Structure 1
């Protein structure tokens, strides 16, 4: 539910609503979305995912199948202080369609400062025109 302050939605609640999806849509219980940004350069598709506090070798799985890149992560963290304990856990996933011609088998991934960057090469499309040399006979 979005709380109102002076008739306006409060930002944290508004962001929570956006991340949860539009009303009436149903997600998979226990599965949370991963915040991402993506862009296409002349040579590659680049996806950056916000995944702070994870061990990428243990907690992150990246697969490419049928032109879809799937990113899954699992968090299980517990913080114990003198008079309180706090835990955060959950499974996170994001699936994106790769651009035509993307070379998923050549993808690379780098994790730094809580951000996972996945780069998938996308060769430049060749021109539809072919020049045929004429030999002197």
Structure 2
């Protein structure tokens, strides 16, 4: 089990959820269309958990990998009727996570239970391949 931190690339436009979390308390004004995630490296796997309550994993959730990024998206539609009154909610959700070096895009499992999507991705060689280059004197 590795306790090494996961490397992330710097993004000049952080996720809105991270921005609003950092200034505290403004998140509810955006509604519920933000996917909150946590990630870790454990037992040679990169694990991402996404909070996505009330969704049907067969119809509402899409998970894909594209150019070293894990893409999670979902669409929710909900209609409630009670005594002649009806109300509906809908929204689309999307979150993208940069995969760590060595992530194997052919070794991915995803499961959904109790409102949490868990995606587990196998990791290969993550050791640095630094190499010293000899500088030759030109004539």
Q: How does the TM-score come out when normalised to structure 1?
A: 0.67
Structure 1 consecutive aligned stretches of length 4 or more whose deviation exceeds 2 Å:
83-86, 123-128
For structure 2, the residue ranges without an aligned partner over 5 or more in a row are: 1-23, 130-139
- Structure 1 gaps of 5+ residues are 1-12, 21-30, 129-137
Aligned residues: 106
Q: CA deviation at 1:53?
A: 1.3
Query: Is the contact between residue 79 and residue 86 of structure 2 (CA under 8 Å) also seen in structure 1?
Result: yes
1:106 and 1:89 map into 2 onto residues whose CA distance is 33
Structure 1 residue 36 displacement after superposition: 1.1
1:16 match:
27
Work out whether residues 101 and 126 of structure 2, in 8 Å CA contact, stay in contact via their aligned partners in 1: no
CA contact (8 A) 1:43 1:124 kept: no
TM-score (norm. length: structure 2): 0.66
Q: Could you say which residue in structure 2 is the equivalent of 1:43? A: 44
Shift of 1:127: 8.8
Larger Rg: 1
Partner of 1:118: 119
Question: In 2, Cα distance between the equivalents of 1:88 and 1:118?
Answer: 27
